[in-house]
Structures are given as C-alpha cells and as structure tokens.
C-alpha cells in the first residue's frame, strides 16, 4: 500500500503520484464548484454573489487547516523515506492530537467572529444574510476538513495517492445529490449548499479512517507509540503552522481584493466568484504537482538522495509548462461556454455582461498559469525539503501584491485590475521562490558533505585507536600504548 519515490525515473514517479492526486483534487474542488454552479443556476446571480463574497475568508481559514495537515504529513514522508517506521507512527499519533486541538479552537473562534468579518469586508447588504448563513455552516464543518485532509496527507506521504480519490469521488456524487435535495426540494437556499459540502466531506473523512484501519498495517500504532511527545509536536508545528500560515497570509491579500471587488457591486462579485471557481478547477493539476513534489522531496531528503531533487523539480516544471499552454488555449476558445456552467440563462439583460466578465477573468488568469505552476511546484518542493518558513515569505509577497492591486488599483481601474491581481501575486512569489529553492538544495548538499566528512574523520580516528590497540597486544607491554587504550 506504500510507494518508494527514492528510486526510478523522477518524471515517471511524479506522474504516477500526481495523476491519482489530481483526480482527488478535482473531486475536492467539485465540492465548492458544484455549490457555486447549482446556486447560480437554481437561485440566481444574487445568491451566487453571496457565496462568492465568502470565498476569500473561506480560503483564509480552510486554507490554513489544509496547509497545517499538509505540513503534518511532511515528517511522516521523511521518516518513511528513512525507513524509521516506528518514529513515523509516533508522528502520526501526535499529528492526530494536534489536529483535534486546532479543529476545536478554530471552529469556535470562526463561528463567533464570521459576522464581524463579513461586515469588515464591506459585504453588500443585499447578499449579507445569505453570505453569513453559508460561511457559518462551512466554519462549523472545520473538524470534517481536518479529518479528511490529515488522513489523506498521511496516506499520500506513504506514497499512496490513489486511496483518498475513491472516497472523494463517492462524496462528490453525494454532494451533488444533497445540493439538489437541500436547495431545490427543501428550500434551504445557500445554507443547503453549505450543509451538503460539510456532510459530504465528513463522509469522505470517515471512509478514509475506516480504510486506514483495515488496510494499512504500517500505520497500526502500538500503546508505546501513542504517547504525547512535546518534541514531535514541536517538529509537526514547525512544518504545519508555516504551511497553514502560507495560505492564510496569501488569503489576507485576497480579502483586501475581495473587499475592493465588493465595492464594485454584486454583479462584479458574482463574476469574480464564477471566474475564481472555474480557473481554480482548471488549476487543480498544479496542486497535484505540488503535492507530488512535497512527498517526492521529503522521501528523497530522508533517504539522503539529494541529487534527485533538482531533476525532479525540472521534470515537474516541464509538465507544468505543457499544461499551462493547453489550459490557456482551451480558455481562449471555450471560456464563454464554461461561464454558462455558473449562470442562469434567464438572467435577462445581465446575461451577456456576466458571461463577458467571467470570460475576461478566466482568460487573464490562465494566461499566467505557468507562473502559478512554478509557485506550487517550487513552494511544495521547498516544504518537502524541510524549509517551511520560506513558504511564508513567498506568501507575504503574494499578499502584498494582491493587497496593493485591491487597495490602489481596483478603485481606479475597476474590474480589469481585479483580473490581474492573482497573476501579479504569482509572479512576485516566483521571484523569491526560485532562488530560495536553489539555496535550499545547496544548503542540504553542504550539510550532507559536512556530515560525511565528520563520519570519515571519526572513522579514521577510530581506525587509529584500533591500530594502537593491536600494536599493544602484539608487544605485550603496558607502556604508552596501554595508557592510550
């Protein structure tokens, strides 16, 4: 049930790992995208805007939760690569304890504060009530988010990227059924869409838990391995919290941008919501590449095979370039048709305007997809090497870029500036991440060379002592050789 990423062709290994992960991410994206599609089709543009107005604050909180779980999986991948299965299981046990604590605290805090946050973001009054109902239920489901993402991260860190996909496929179908049932038949509106998402993710998390207990003997934790260990918790937090903050810091810029878009009116909020969901779905391959590189780099660093890091990053970047060109070409041709997935054909005079706005947003984003590919590939590679703090710095650059565009450019240039906010953030992040990645690889190699030199020196010293001892034994004396011994 596990997979070794430390031997064989990096390109084949990354593809073999990323493709199943991609299907899992596509299904995971379907949770929010199907909500947006069904809400837009069944409830109209105003309800679509209500869901879209919560996108940045949802990314702030849910992104932090997902980032923490991804970070918790990196020490597991490292110990798996090193063959230290006992230590790996202790990391898993302590990751569970930390996840429970994080989930309880974050759920309580966000449910209490979400109304104030929406008000601070200048959410339009005509959609405020629906936005609040939607985001409150999403925040109440944070424990389900932790349950699935922690288990999926651990399983992927062992090299198995297939298993979580099956349960996500099942729960995505369940999400669609529940969306229709709760929105159309029960008349719950946007609250029904949020409740469908939470129920579906709970099912996928419980299914992963059941499967892990039955089919992964390597994760069966003994009583001695279950103890709470402060050092291991510190290691996990040193990886997980920076990864979570990376998402949250990035989301701060998105919140500033969303506030600026909210000031343009609910029509532009709806267009931005649909466009973000669409190219978020199209960008799933980059998330899969990032997940693959985190595990690939983590296992190879644990195994001491540092020469494979650069080759793997280059091969994955070439995959990202090819897909970026394909995605941009597809959106040039089919963006208006894709926009209709989210828009009710009965919108009347607003319909052609909405389609045009969504198409403009998507085409601008996909035109800069290769910088986004590098952000995911290089950032997750750095995290897999163990330098999670650097990811926060790249997130800070993204935050600054989006905040500058949102605060200064959107009020002046309007919707066109909002379309370029994310591309500007990706380019700024790459200017930092690419040289930082090269520095991390050099530092790892230097540390390994120093360690090897120390081992050789110790071996020479030990050999010298053994030669003296043998000389003493042959001489039978108890002079200087005996004193040395």
Residue-wise pLDDT tens digits, 223-272: 888 889 999 999 999 888 887 887 777 777 777 888 888 888 878 888 88
Residue-wise pLDDT tens digits, 261-281: 888 887 888 888 888 878 888
pTM, two decimals, is: 0.69
What six digits make up the tokens of 408? 């200064």
CB 2 within 8 A of CB 299: no
pLDDT of residue 484: 39
Poorest-pLDDT segment among 137-146, 244-253, 325-334, 463-472: 463-472
Poorest-pLDDT segment among 30-34, 328-332, 367-371: 30-34
Residue-wise pLDDT tens digits, 365-410: 999 999 999 999 999 899 888 887 787 788 888 889 988 998 899 9
pLDDT of residue 456: 58
User: Where in the chain are the domains?
Assistant: 10-447
């Amino acid at each position: 049930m596990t997979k070794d990423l430390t031997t064989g062709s990096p390109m084949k290994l990354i593809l073999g790992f990323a493709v199943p992960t991609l299907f899992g991410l596509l299904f995971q994206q379907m949770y929010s995208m199907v909500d947006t599609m069904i809400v837009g089709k069944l409830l109209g543009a105003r309800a679509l805007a209500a869901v879209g107005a919560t996108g940045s604050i949802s990314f702030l909180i849910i992104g932090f939760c997902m980032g923490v779980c991804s970070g918790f999986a990196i020490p597991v991948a490292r110990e798996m690569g090193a063959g230290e299965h006992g230590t790996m299981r202790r990391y898993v046990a302590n990751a569970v304890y930390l996840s429970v604590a994080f989930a309880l605290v974050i759920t309580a805090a966000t449910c209490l504060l979400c109304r104030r946050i929406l008000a601070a973001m200048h959410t339009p009054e005509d959609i405020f009530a629906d936005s609040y109902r939607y985001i409150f239920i999403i925040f109440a489901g944070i424990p389900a988010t932790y349950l699935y993402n922690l288990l999926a991260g651990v399983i992927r860190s062992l090299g198995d990227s297939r298993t979580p996909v099956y349960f996500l496929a099942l729960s995505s179908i369940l999400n669609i059924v529940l969306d229709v049932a709760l929105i159309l038949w029960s008349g719950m509106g946007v609250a029904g869409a949020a409740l469908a998402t939470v129920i579906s993710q709970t099912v996928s998390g419980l299914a992963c838990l059941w499967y892990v207990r039955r089919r992964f003997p390597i994760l069966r934790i003994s009583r001695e391995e279950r103890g709470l260990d402060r050092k291991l918790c510190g290691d996990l937090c040193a990886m997980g919290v920076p990864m979570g903050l990376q998402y949250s810091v990035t989301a701060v810029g998105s919140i500033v941008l969303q506030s600026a878009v909210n000031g343009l009116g609910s029509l532009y909020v709806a267009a931005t919501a649909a466009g973000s969901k669409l190219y978020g779905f199209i960008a799933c391959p980059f998330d899969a590449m990032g997940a693959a590189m985190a595990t690939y780099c983590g296992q190879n660093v644990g195994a001491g095979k540092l020469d494979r890091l650069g080759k793997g990053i280059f091969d994955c970047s070439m995959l990202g370039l090819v897909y970026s060109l394909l995605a941009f070409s597809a959106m040039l041709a089919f963006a208006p048709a894709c926009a209709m997935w989210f828009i009710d054909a009965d919108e009347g005079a607003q319909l052609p305007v909405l389609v045009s706005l969504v198409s403009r947003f998507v085409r601008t984003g996909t035109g800069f997809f290769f910088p986004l590919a590098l952000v995911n590939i290089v950032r997750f590679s750095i995290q897999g090497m163990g330098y999670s703090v650097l990811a926060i710095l790249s997130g800070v650059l993204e935050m600054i870029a989006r905040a500058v565009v949102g605060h200064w450019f959107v009020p002046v240039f309007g919707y066109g500036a909002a379309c370029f906010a994310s591309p500007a953030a990706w380019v700024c992040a790459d200017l930092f991440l690419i040289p930082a990645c090269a520095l991390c690889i050099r530092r790892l190699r230097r540390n390994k060379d120093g360690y090897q030199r120390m081992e050789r020196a110790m071996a020479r010293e030990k050999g010298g002592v053994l030669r003296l001892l043998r000389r003493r034994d042959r001489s039978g004396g108890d002079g200087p050789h005996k004193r040395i011994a």
